[in-house]
Chains A and B, each alone.
Chain A
Amino acid sequence: MIRVELPAHLRTLAHVGGEVKLDVAGQVTQRSVLDALEARYPMLRGTIRDQVTHQRRPFIRFFACQEDLSHESPDAPLPEAVASGTEPFLIVGAIAGG
């Protein structure tokens, strides 16, 4: 079970109150987590990564275990603490004012 934390505006969009818990089949990577997230919450498609290229949107960051994973390969394994559900995978909106 993977724990995912969304930024507030995406929690509202997905109608979820807190952390999202996902079952991810196979290796736990950014791609497999986001695939599972978008399958459960289709309204999030395109809001975290581009629908066509699957590139992370420029003002979205991925953090876990006090590390910035934004620039890791989407197919690189996420830390064991994320894969085991001990630590959440954080999807964060960049500090961009607004």
Chain B
Amino acid sequence: MKDKMSGVRVLVGTRKGAFVLTSDAKRQRWDVSGPHFAGWEIYHVKGSPADSNRLYASQSSGWSGQLIQRSNDGGKTWEAMDNKFEYDGVPGTHQWYDGTPHPWEFKRVWHLEPSLTDPDTVYAGVEDAALFRSTDGGKSWQELSGLRGHGSGPHWQPGAGGMCLHTILLDPSDQGRMFIAISAAGAFRSDDAGKTWRPINQGLHSQYIPDPAAEVGHCVHRIAMHQSRPGTLFMQKHWDVMRTDDAGESWHEISGNLPTDFGFVIDVHAHDPETIYVVPIKSDSEHYPPEGKLRVYRSRTGGNEWEALTKGLPQRDCYVNVLRDAMAVDSLDSCGVYFGTTGGQVYASADAGDKWAPIVRDLPAVLSVEVQTL
């Protein structure tokens, strides 16, 4: 618990640049800097847990493709790093939307996950789905091709956002163990630092694939972990909120009394591994909150029993979405919770979700939100 920390830095990726929002530990007054990389899509910005001044950003555009930016001073200055993401060997094919084979093609980096211990090691989840790693601070990238090549790749297919590897979770208790998730393939685990992988989707049920309980093909939207309990994972799937307590060997549903179990984000309270958050979205075709009411739902029981958190959030005429990488928590004594919307608002709660207020209201559509506790 970081009760003597000085404040927080919120890293926001948007459709037209990155923004850095900073505050002291009270989290009431905010400084806003940006746009950084103005005009470019910033899918993700994340800081190294081992060095808070080391940030990585995924910068892309339809004109000029993918760039990786690195900062060594907490986002004041940036340097373009290597952007050569070359699949290992012959890439092969995955399923297209109509089920036909489609060649693997690199499109963009969705998610950057810095190592827990080494600022120069960072993982990149990309579209078309694959996992890359840099061990030299982004100067070069190598694919961890055991994931894409383990055998089920021809059965993976894109979700509406593309066939993206969007979630990377590193186990703090076991350097060899990591989890990733792909839309639409499912969740996978490695126990040997990314060399070999296997799908961990038992218990998932998806009506939109021919065999609803298939080994792969599930549209996992997001997975979250509490650092103190790395064998317990929480998942927001296309439909259904799920939980595993055995590192993915089996999943069970915890949607309980949610108004809809469709959604994108899911996260865990910094100090209570049984307190989790989701933002229910009406359906896969209606990407906005039910009834036009933006509500975060919190469960203090690890799922099934959920309460709506509404104070400070719009409760009428709200039709924004909250995308999968756009929720984060800080680790101050009273846990802060943050999320961004496609309407350009970034909301913060300094009291674990009881009350909310916008930090900013009018950014470009928010793609990702990360928080550093400084």
Known: A9-B39, A13-B80. A52 touches B64 (CB 8 A): no
Across-interface contacts of B66 in A (CB, < 8 A):
46
Q: Is B208 close to A, CB under 8 A?
A: no
Q: Of all chain A residues, which has the CB nearest B41?
A: A98
Interface readout for A56-87 with B: 1 if CB under 8 Å, 0 if not? 01011000000000000000000000000000
Q: Is B260 close to A, CB under 8 A?
A: no
Q: Is A7 close to B, CB under 8 A?
A: yes
Known: A9-B40, A52-B86. A47 touches B62 (CB 8 A): no
Whether B83 lies near A45 (C-beta < 8 A) is yes
Q: Is A1 close to B, CB under 8 A?
A: no
Across-interface contacts of B84 in A (CB, < 8 A):
45-46, 51-52
Q: How many residues from B make CB contacts under 8 Å with A?
A: 14
Across-interface contacts of A98 in B (CB, < 8 A):
39, 61-62
Q: How many residues from A make CB contacts under 8 Å with B?
A: 20
- How close is A37's CB to chain B, nearest CB, in angstroms? 13
Whether B63 lies near A60 (C-beta < 8 A) is yes
Interface of A (DSSP majority class): loop
Contact with A13, one of B62, B67, B86 (Cβ below 8 angstroms) = B67
Contact with A57, one of B38, B65, B80 (Cβ below 8 angstroms) = B65
Q: Is A43 close to B, CB under 8 A?
A: yes
Whether A48 lies near B83 (C-beta < 8 A) is no
- How close is A16's CB to chain B, nearest CB, in angstroms? 13
Across-interface contacts of B86 in A (CB, < 8 A):
51-52
- How close is B108's CB to chain A, nearest CB, in angstroms? 12
Complex CA distance for A70 and B65, rounded to whole angstroms? 18
- How close is B240's CB to chain A, nearest CB, in angstroms? 35
Complex CA distance for A52 and B65, rounded to whole angstroms? 13
Within 8 A of A (CB), among B26-72: 38-40, 61-67
Known: A9-B39, A9-B40. A96 touches B83 (CB 8 A): no
Whether B61 lies near A43 (C-beta < 8 A) is no
Whether B62 lies near A43 (C-beta < 8 A) is no
Across-interface contacts of B61 in A (CB, < 8 A):
9, 98
Q: Is A39 close to B, CB under 8 A?
A: no
Interface readout for B86-130 with A: 1 if CB under 8 Å, 0 if not? 100000000000000000000000000000000000000000000
Across-interface contacts of B62 in A (CB, < 8 A):
59, 96, 98
Across-interface contacts of A22 in B (CB, < 8 A):
none
- How close is B80's CB to chain A, nearest CB, in angstroms? 4
Complex CA distance for A60 and B68, rounded to whole angstroms? 20
Whether B65 lies near A47 (C-beta < 8 A) is yes
Of A45, A46, A57, A96, most buried by chain B (CB within 10 Å of CB) is A46
Whether A57 lies near B83 (C-beta < 8 A) is no
Whether A7 lies near B67 (C-beta < 8 A) is no
Complex CA distance for A54 and B61, rounded to whole angstroms? 18
Whether B63 lies near A7 (C-beta < 8 A) is yes
Within 8 A of B (CB), among A1-23: 7, 9-10, 12-13
Q: What residues of chain B have their CB less than 8 Å away from a CB belonging to chain A?
A: 38-40, 61-67, 80, 83-84, 86
Q: What residues of chain A have their CB less than 8 Å away from a CB belonging to chain B?
A: 7, 9-10, 12-13, 42-43, 45-48, 51-52, 57, 59-60, 93-94, 96, 98
Ordered by A's residue number, 29 sampled pairs between the chains whose C-beta atoms are within 8 Å are A7-B63, A9-B40, A9-B61, A9-B64, A10-B64, A12-B38, A43-B80, A46-B65, A46-B66, A46-B67, A46-B83, A47-B63, A47-B65, A47-B67, A47-B83, A51-B83, A51-B86, A52-B84, A52-B86, A57-B63, A57-B65, A59-B62, A59-B64, A60-B64, A93-B64, A94-B63, A98-B39, A98-B61, A98-B62
